[in-house]
Each structure stands twice: as C-alpha cells, then as structure tokens.
Structure 1
Amino acid sequence: MKRNRSALAGAALLTAGVIALAGCSSGDSGEGTGGDEGSGASTGVVTVQNNEPQNPLIPAVTNEVGGGLVLQNIFAGLVYYEADGAMAMDVAESIESEDNQNWTITIKADQTFSDGTPVTAASFVDAWQYAASDAEFENQWWFGNFAGYNPEAAGEEGALALEVVDDTSFTVELAAPQSDFPITLGYQVFSPLPESFFDDPEAFGEAPIGNGPYKLDKWEHDQVISLVPNETYDGPRQPQNGGVDLVVYATQEAAYSDLLGDNLDVINPNVPPSALATYKDDLGDRAVDQGAAIWEGLTIPARLEHFGNDEEGLLRRQAISYAIDREQITDVIFEGTRTPAVDYTSPVIEGWSDSIPGSEVTHADADKAKDLWAQADAISPWSGTFTIAYNADGGHQPWVDAVANQLKNTLGIDAIGQSYPDLATLREEISNRTLNAATRSGWQFDYPGAYNILGALFITGAGSNDGDYSNPEYDTLVQQGATAPSVEEGNALFEQAQEVLFQDLPVLPLWYRSTNAGYSTVVENVEYGWDSWPIIFEITKE
C-alpha cells in the first residue's frame, strides 16, 4: 500500500490471479469459529505494533499500512483474503457475470454498521461513487476500469456506471471485461459507508463507523488506536479476543524489546535488522519466517537535479543500480531474510520472472557503474550529495547507510541517509512533492496480483506513483494486461511492461521481503497472512 494522485483515464484495473505462496502458512481464515463475542472467544486485549496513520481513516484516502490495518478490521467488504491469499465471501452473497464486464452483486440480508444502521446495496454504491469523485483521493485510481470513470471530474459524484437494484443487490458496468474483478474487491476502498459519513466526512475520518469485526474505541494520535469487538458483525471473521490495541512505536528496536518482555504481543510486520540473527533463538517456536508479497525499491524522482528524464538522468540511475550490491546487503544487513529483487513484483505473486530483459541492471558491477557515472559527468558534471530519505520507525537506517557507503566507495560521491521520525511524516513530504531526495519505497500488496503494484506505482498519475513516472507505452501494456482474457496472457503483457520499466528505471528494485516476526508468550493462534499482516481476529489471549 502507498500513495498519491489520480489514475490514467480509462486505465483498466486488475488482472493478476491466484497467489502461489512460497512458505506461507495456509490454515483457514477463522470461518466456522463464528458466533457472537463471548462464544469461545478469549477476553484479553491483544497489543500489536503499528504505525501512526498518515491520513484520516476513510477508505477513499487511506492507502498506507498504518491506516490500512485499522480499516481492514473495522470494515467488512464484499470479500476478504484468507491467510494463503485465497478469496472468501464476507458481506457478499454472490458476485456474478456472464461476460466479465457487467456484474451483479448481491449482499447478505440484515447486515448493519456498528451504530446499528443498515448496510445496503446503496452503502456500497454511494461509497464507491464518492471514492471515484475526486482526483485528490489517494485511492481514486482503483476505479479506472469502471464505466463512467473520469479522473478529472473532481466533485462529480455518481459518474460510475453503478445501479442499485434493491436493498441487497446492485450492478456494476466495467469499461472492459475483467475476469478477476471479484478478487480486487477485498481492498479497503471497496468498503461500504454509512449515511452518517456523508454528513461530515472530516469528523468521520477521526471516528469512523464500520461494519467489520471490530469498531473504533479510541484514537490517541501517535500513541495507540484501540479496537473492540463489534457486536453487530455476524460475518466469518469473528474476533477471538477482547479487543486490539494498535500501538505506535518510534523504533522497531523499542517494539522488539517490549515483545521480549511480554509488554507487546505481536510484532508487525518484522523484527528489527539488529535482531534478525538472534530472533529465532530469542522466540523459539514463536518466531515466524515465511514468504510475503512485499517488494522494496529506491525511488529517484525525475525532478531531482541530474536525474531528469534525459540521457544523463538514465545513466545516473543505471550507475547507482549497478553500484548497489544487493546480495551483500541482504546477506549481511538482513541475515539472508531478504532476497535481491530482479523484477517489479514478488516471487509469491503469479507471473513473477527472474529473466526480464534489462534486469541485469540489478546485479552489482562496480566497473560498469563507474563507467556509466563518468558518461553522465561528461554531459553535466556531478555536484552535491545523493540523499536517501527513510522513516526511522521502520528499521531502515542500517541498509540506507550501507547503500550510501557503497555509492561513496564505488562512485566516489557524497551519499547520506536522511531520517524522518515516522512513516506518516515522510509520506506527507512525498505526497506534497516537497522532498528533494531519493526515497525508500515499499509495496505491501493489497491483493494477490501483479497489476496491484504495476498499476499503483507506475501508471501515469496513479495513486502511489511517487516519482511521477509517465510513459504511454508502459501505460498501454499494463492496461492491455489488466483486461487480457486470461491470467497467463495478462502476465505476458505485464512482463513486456516491466521491460519498459527497466529501460526507464524510475525506481530501482532492491529486494523482496519475508515476514520475519514473532509474538509474546501470552497469546496463541497467531498467524501472519500472505501480505505479512497478522490476522488479528484469530489471536487469543486469556
């Protein structure tokens, strides 16, 4: 999940497909454990590490991990994802189509929000129309393949081709057929909203009312978000605990220290780099090591001096990529818990490839790096310092310092890290385009498909296109892949699109992350999902 701006007009949403998890535990989602709060549920309040949300807690505008974990648990969408990435029904009774373009969605009867008001078909339709109505909304681009979508039509609600049939059913017309449309509906932007939201969206963002397994009890900014079981929720994700405190930590080290002392129950999502060599010994069978759909890279915006969309800028990006020894960093800094990235997706996502033309730029080659940098200097001599911005609460300093040292030693330039206290502060500068530096980029997949990252990070104007990358050839290939008649054909087009990315290098692939985490001695039934997030409703604590 991540960031800013509207999407390409007519950009087709999604293709992707079935996740092929390497090492993730499967297990079921908790369906069948149901009943209301108290039917076998433990009463302890579970504490989980989290970030302070950057944005108000509104599905249309929250697309970073701090707020995403909250929305995932206070809202119930049409579908949700089980631990292994499989799609399962939540509020939806059925999602049907004869042509993959015109869909009829039926929801379960007698659903309510936590304030007792009904969840109806209109609750979904009105929420989606609102989310697609403003180009400033972080998640507007998700509606790019809906008929009627216009990213420039700020304020024009009702543009999408959605129609309420009755209280429990509505129709969706897409701009182009999309066979995997149902699987996308587990993302939070497709949540319903109560009528009270439209009366005062600003107030709602501070105290949201959802229809999910939990409801918001309190939000003490920069400290804790407390969730309690929602007694009106009767879906498959029944809470098995007495509530959850999502606790904000300034550093991963502080969180890990509290975990070891049983003052924190669940690390989210990873132990700090300093603990990677010892955490399995520290935690024993409470240590978690499994695959996850998380990709990390280094964004170098074209607006930075010497890094424009010209020959000099491309030469310098290539030189920096060749100068970074990913294998050394993943082995030494991350104790082998990361894997050097050779594409722009993830090995646990179907369609991943380790042989995309141009991906050789991800392999360290000091001589080539020096030569490319010299060619760039011949166009315009380098001056200044190469700065890498990062959030201090994410455990990034060790690898940022290592990359900076590699650039100094290989290219002979000044390179430093620039620390921000937390992710929300860093994201604010990135979103406002006030950050005059390269920045660490991470993508935790929102649903198990390649389009999720290739659309969100690189399509012209897309929600998390932090470097403002734009290439019509890339956009066209991704749109074609998103509406291809099969997952296999779509992934072949996505591979062609990645060739374009390697030609332009708007972001340098760094590594794929695993879930290297753990939990305290006082909780049980802790499971991390395909996306590395702990599955909160399953956790028990006496």
Structure 2
Amino acid sequence: MSARATRKRWALIGATSVALVASGCGSSGDSGGGTGASDSGKTFSYQSSEPQNPLQPANANETGGGRIVQNLFKGLVDYNPENGELRNQAAEKIDTSDAQTFTVTLKTGWTFHDGSPVTSKSFVDAWNWAASTGNNQINSSWFGDIEGYKDVHPESGSPTKTTMSGLTVTDDTHFTIKLYNKVSYFTFKLGYVAFSPLPEGFFKDPAGYGQKPIGNGPYQFVSWDHNSQVVTKAFANYQGVDKPKNGGVVFKMYTTAEAAYADLQSGNLDVMDQVPPSALATYKTDLGDRAIDSPQGAIQNIGFTLYQPEWAGANTAKVRQGLSMAIDRDTITKTVLQGSRAPASAWTADGVQGYKAGTCGDFCTYDPAKAKQLIQEGGGVPGNSLKITYNADGGHKEWVDAVCNSIRQATGVNCVGDPKTDFKTARAAITGHTINGAFRTGWVQDYPLNANFLADVYRTGAASNDFGYSSPEFDKLATEADQADSIDATATGYQKAEAVLAQDMPAIPLWYYRTNSGFSTNVQNVVFDSFGNPNWTGVEVKS
C-alpha cells in the first residue's frame, strides 16, 4: 500500500493480503438435513485447544486463547474477512499527519457485556495496564512503540510510572496516541487483540475477569469448563459491523486432531481448525463441498533454544544452517502433507505484503553433503542428538517424524520428536524455557505485513521471541524500517532485516500453510480468511 499524501485519515485503509455444547454433541441438535434455512439463535462448535493463559486480551498470543479472546473483545479496528482490508470497529476515525501522533475518535453507543460504556478511558487504561511490567502480560511488548512504554516496562529495574506519557484522554470519545518515533504501519497493529478495551471492573479483579471475561465483542462469555470447552453466546447489543448470524460459538478442546475429525464427520463438531495429516489425502472426498482449502498467511518453523550455552555460540549458526539443509521439504510437503503445504524459502509467509522469496538462500535447499559440512564446521549438534518439541494434539507427529528421519538420514544426527500432551503444555514448556534443543513454532499473521513475521518474532525482547534471539543488526534494520516514510518502504526495509536471519538461523523455515478444514452438515456459509479463522459471525446454523 502506498503512502497517502499530506494529512492521512485512517478511516478505512486498504491492506494487501495481516492459538461446544455442554453435552458435547452437534450444535443444532439434529442431523442438519432440513431445509437449509438458518437459525440465528443456535450455537456452533469449533475445534480448539485449552488456552495457555487467562482470557485477557494482552495475555493471548497462541491460537487456543487468541481465537476465543478475539471473539469476546473488539478493538478500534479489525480486518475484513472477505478481503483482508483494515476496517473501523469501535473507531469512527483515526487521524495522523506524521505517522507518530494519532488522534482517535470513537463511535458512540458501544458497551461492554455488563452494560457499562466503552470510552476513551477504557482503551487507555487497558493499554497502560497491559504494558506494565508487574501485570505479566505476554503481549506487553506490543505497546513498545508508545511514548512512555519504557517508564512502565523498563528493560531492567522497577517501573518509574504506571501510565505511558504517549496516551492522553481528551474526552469520552477522543484520545491521542504519541509514539517514540513514527511507525508507518501502526494502525495495522491496532487490529491486534492486545489493543482491546477493558471495563472498569476488570482492574479491581484481573484474575477473576481472566476466568470470566467481560468484553465488548460480538460474543459474550458464558462458561469455561477447563480442558473441555468455552461457551459463548451472541451479544445482543453488539455495535460492530459484523453482527452475528448465529447464537454463539462453543470452543471444544481436543487432545488429538484425529478425534476432532471423527467428531466432524459424525456431526458432533461443526467447524475444524485443520484436518489431521492422516486425513489430507481423503478429506475432500469425505466432505465434498463441505471441505475447505483456502490461502492462509502462515508459516511453520523449527525454533532453537538460543538462551542455552550449547546453542548460543556464534558458530552454532552453521549447525542450524546445516540442519536446515538436511530437511527434504519438497518430499515431505508432497507426501506426508499431501501437497497441502508449499516449501518455505523465507521467514515471511507467501502472500503477505513484503514477502520476498529466497531470503533463506541455499540454506533452505536440501543438500545432505553441505548439511554435514556445515554441522561439522559449527562444532556439531550437542551430543549429536536433537529433540523437536511439539504439541501432540495438533496433528504434527507425522511431519515431525519425517523431518527427523530426513535429518538422521542426511547427517547421522539422532533426531527424535518430543511430544507434549497438548498445545497449552507445549507452550508452557517453550515459554518457561524448560526444553532443550528445538521446538515446533508456527506463525499466523496478526496483520498482513512482513513486519509482523519479523519484528514481533525476532526483535530483541519481542513477545513471541521464544528463542532468546538478539541481534543488534536485525534490531537496527527493523527500527529503520519502522520509521520509513511509507508502508512500501517499511516492507522493503524489513526485507533487509530478514536477510540477517539467514546469517543467524534462529529458526528454520519449513513450509507455508493453507487452511485445510471442513464443516459439518449442521452449518452453512463457512468461509475462512487469510488469518486461518472462520468468519465467525457469518456462520449460519441450520434450523
């Protein structure tokens, strides 16, 4: 997207393509074989996983919690599921003349699920709370662009303030955001769920609200039966442009993708996240016109524990480069993954603005001889043994085993999968730094720009930098890209930063995703967006 001339108004911005019914049965309670008419009062069920953290907007950066929270809360803007364009929600308009100071005007009439009004203070208080060190929000770094963030979240020591100087409430419907430096794409970032508002009651009992959240989104919280389901219902007073055409979403927790697929086929689950690898060859035949195969802005990687001494040395980059060259991506994507993935040659997903094929260079090309050479030059894999940690409930076993087989055959390194029971357990081990070696890590776009795949993952201290990776050169180039005069220039700048990852290889790019999913006979009008989400509010439940 090119820069706007003179004063820019972000009232509507075009963008290129940014982790359960109580009885456990199907949402409609019948076979779904009726007239095809929809019943807007009925819920539908969706394949999910247990959230890693309490249901707080700035505390979810994995799909299990993130997809629930994004339905309970709604921020200033979001992305149109039909075309990926940024659209206003709680914001009437967001004005800026310099991409550094933004004036927000809110729409009137918005309320939280408890009936209290959504005001400028609802946003400013929520962001200040989320950014503050003491509140331990996993997405606190998302507020790092705002002036005063370092006062509430210093790199070391205790905070000197509780509010960011860059946030100023003018009145109930107006507030300003001032950044340390200009960020050409800052409004893109505002679509991320961490920037949601919070009701006044939240601050009196954050822990309690994390278990029984009160938001302002299209669906309101009903119940959370841990490791089983989260039940929501449509919010009657929702003021967004995407009013629900159904009665709510029930997020059902599954320990295996195979179990979810069996429930989908029997009508006990309405919408899948992804079909398991074991069903990729047959799911289109199994489901017919209820099968989904659509583009997704997402990538699968293998990350490394660079915070551990055996992986921290500069020379170990050669070991990781060698391991990358030992993976036969072409064969694995064609056979194990049935052509449902495309081999990756960069750390940014194909189709995202700023994507540049080939950034990984030869290091993403299968070459056993060169792989052995690089591993030897780098001092070898510690103990000549590599574990790849992954969540067993996500349908990853087949490809992890295939990757390990490829590494073993090409290099002689003893590679094995390290399955954790579920996504929550795997994420806790990864973020808690209790694993050693390597781990599965995927990234689905939060906004459709290469900066999201790079700055929010590989910048020093970023919320999703699970590797402990820190490169002054990458950080410098990322900052320069942020301050570019246009989004096009920002995308180009981040391509330069991405090239640094090829030198350091903190993570190995594997392949780009597609959404391979399906839905039951109980529902209709199921469409997935480039974020890998169904258009939640557009799903219709058959009567």
- TM over 0.5, yes or no? yes
Return the alpha-carbon distance in structure 2 between the equivalents of residues 380 and 240 of structure 1.
57
Q: What do the CA deviations read for 1:278-309 (whole angstroms, capped 9, x no partner)?
A: 11111111111111011111011224464322
Q: What does 1:258-273 correspond to in 2, within 5 Å?
A: 258-268=263-273, 270-273=274-277
Amino acid at match of 1:359: G
Residue 164 (str. 1) matches residue 164 (str. 2): no
Amino acid at match of 1:293: G
Aligned-residue RMSD, C-alpha: 1.7
Return the alpha-carbon distance in structure 1 between the equivalents of residues 237 and 41 of structure 2.
18
Is there any run of 5+ residues in structure 2 with no aligned partner, and where? 1-12, 19-37
Question: 2:465 maps to what in 1?
Answer: 465
How far apart are residue 480 of structure 1 and its match?
1.1
Question: 1:34 maps to what in 2?
Answer: none
Question: 1:298 maps to what in 2?
Answer: 302
In structure 2, relative to structure 1, the CA distance for the partners of 1:148 and 1:427 (3 Å cut) is same
In structure 2, relative to structure 1, the CA distance for the partners of 1:156 and 1:424 (3 Å cut) is farther
Question: 1:414 maps to what in 2?
Answer: 414
Return the alpha-carbon distance in structure 1 between the equivalents of residues 176 and 100 of structure 2.
10
Amino acid at match of 1:273: P
Amino acid at match of 1:515: T
Amino acid at match of 1:263: N
How far apart are residue 178 of structure 1 and its match?
2.4
1:204 to 191, 200, 209: 209
- Equivalent position SS for 2:337: coil
- Equivalent position SS for 2:516: strand
Return the alpha-carbon distance in structure 1 between the equivalents of residues 96 and 295 of structure 2.
33
Question: 1:519 maps to what in 2?
Answer: 519
Q: Does structure 1 retain, via aligned residues, the 8 Å contact 2:478–2:497?
A: yes
1:229 to 229, 234, 256: 234
How far apart are residue 441 of structure 1 and its match?
0.7
TM-score (norm 1): 0.90
In structure 2, relative to structure 1, the CA distance for the partners of 1:539 and 1:411 (3 Å cut) is same
Return the alpha-carbon distance in structure 2 between the equivalents of residues 519 and 92 of structure 1.
33
Q: What do the CA deviations read for 1:471-501 (whole angstroms, capped 9, x no partner)?
A: 1110010111122111221122111111111
Q: What does 1:361-372 correspond to in 2, within 5 Å?
A: 361-372=363-374
Amino acid at match of 2:255: A
Q: What does 1:122-133 correspond to in 2, within 5 Å?
A: 122-133=121-132
In structure 2, relative to structure 1, the CA distance for the partners of 1:17 and 1:460 (3 Å cut) is farther
Residue 480 (str. 1) matches residue 480 (str. 2): yes
Amino acid at match of 2:254: Y
Question: 1:53 maps to what in 2?
Answer: 51
How far apart are residue 535 of structure 1 and its match?
1.5
Question: 1:33 maps to what in 2?
Answer: none
Return the alpha-carbon distance in structure 1 between the equivalents of residues 90 and 113 of structure 2.
14
Q: What does 1:101-112 correspond to in 2, within 5 Å?
A: 101-112=100-111
How far apart are residue 374 of structure 1 and its match?
2.8
How far apart are residue 154 of structure 1 and its match?
4.0
TM-score (norm 2): 0.90
Return the alpha-carbon distance in structure 1 between the equivalents of residues 368 and 381 of structure 2.
19
Q: What do the CA deviations read for 1:246-271 (whole angstroms, capped 9, x no partner)?
A: 00011111101111111110001x10
Q: What does 1:284-363 correspond to in 2, within 5 Å?
A: 284-304=288-308, 306-311=310-315, 313-356=316-359, 358-363=360-365
477-486 or 149-158, larger mean C-alpha shift: 149-158
Return the alpha-carbon distance in structure 2 between the equivalents of residues 381 and 146 of structure 1.
41
Q: What does 1:80-99 correspond to in 2, within 5 Å?
A: 80-83=78-81, 84-99=83-98
Residue 529 (str. 1) matches residue 529 (str. 2): yes
Runs of 4+ in 1 over 3 A off after TM superposition: 153-156, 303-306, 379-382
Q: What do the CA deviations read for 1:114-153 (whole angstroms, capped 9, x no partner)?
A: 1011111100010011111127321111112111121315
Question: 2:62 maps to what in 1?
Answer: 64
- Equivalent position SS for 1:119: coil
Q: What does 1:232-251 correspond to in 2, within 5 Å?
A: 232-251=237-256
Q: What do the CA deviations read for 1:492-517 (whole angstroms, capped 9, x no partner)?
A: 21111111110000101111100111
Q: Does structure 2 retain, via aligned residues, the 8 Å contact 1:41–1:239?
A: no
Amino acid at match of 2:298: I
How far apart are residue 384 of structure 1 and its match?
4.8
Return the alpha-carbon distance in structure 2 between the equivalents of residues 524 and 294 of structure 1.
25
Q: What do the CA deviations read for 1:402-439 (whole angstroms, capped 9, x no partner)?
A: 11111111111211101101111011111111112310
Return the alpha-carbon distance in structure 1 between the equivalents of residues 39 and 96 of structure 2.
38
Question: 1:180 maps to what in 2?
Answer: 185
How far apart are residue 63 of structure 1 and its match?
1.2
Question: 2:16 maps to what in 1?
Answer: 19
Question: 1:282 maps to what in 2?
Answer: 286
Q: Does structure 2 retain, via aligned residues, the 8 Å contact 1:17–1:180?
A: no
Amino acid at match of 1:111: W
In structure 2, relative to structure 1, the CA distance for the partners of 1:382 and 1:530 (3 Å cut) is closer
Amino acid at match of 2:139: N
Q: Does structure 2 retain, via aligned residues, the 8 Å contact 1:17–1:449?
A: no
In structure 2, relative to structure 1, the CA distance for the partners of 1:137 and 1:156 (3 Å cut) is farther
Instruction: Answer 1 or 2: higher relative contact order, Cα 8 Å, separation at least 6.
Output: 1
How far apart are residue 211 of structure 1 and its match?
0.6
Identity of aligned residues (%): 41
Return the alpha-carbon distance in structure 2 between the equivalents of residues 382 and 50 of structure 1.
36
Question: 2:41 maps to what in 1?
Answer: 43
Q: What do the CA deviations read for 1:158-200 (whole angstroms, capped 9, x no partner)?
A: 1241111111111111112223322221111110000000001
Question: 1:7 maps to what in 2?
Answer: none
Amino acid at match of 2:339: G
Amino acid at match of 1:126: D
How far apart are residue 383 of structure 1 and its match?
2.2
Q: Does structure 1 retain, via aligned residues, the 8 Å contact 2:276–2:395?
A: yes
- Equivalent position SS for 2:540: coil
Return the alpha-carbon distance in structure 1 between the equivalents of residues 51 and 132 of structure 2.
23
How far apart are residue 380 of structure 1 and its match?
6.3
Question: 1:6 maps to what in 2?
Answer: none
Return the alpha-carbon distance in structure 2 between the equivalents of residues 380 and 82 of structure 1.
48
Return the alpha-carbon distance in structure 1 between the equivalents of residues 381 and 140 of structure 2.
41
Amino acid at match of 1:217: V
Amino acid at match of 2:48: N
1:74 to 72, 95, 106: 72
Return the alpha-carbon distance in structure 1 between the equivalents of residues 333 and 207 of structure 2.
42
Return the alpha-carbon distance in structure 2 between the equivalents of residues 101 and 382 of structure 1.
46
In structure 2, relative to structure 1, the CA distance for the partners of 1:154 and 1:397 (3 Å cut) is farther
- Equivalent position SS for 1:73: helix
How far apart are residue 76 of structure 1 and its match?
1.4
- Equivalent position SS for 1:292: strand
How far apart are residue 43 of structure 1 and its match?
2.1
- Equivalent position SS for 1:235: coil
- Equivalent position SS for 1:159: coil
434-443 or 127-136, larger mean C-alpha shift: 127-136
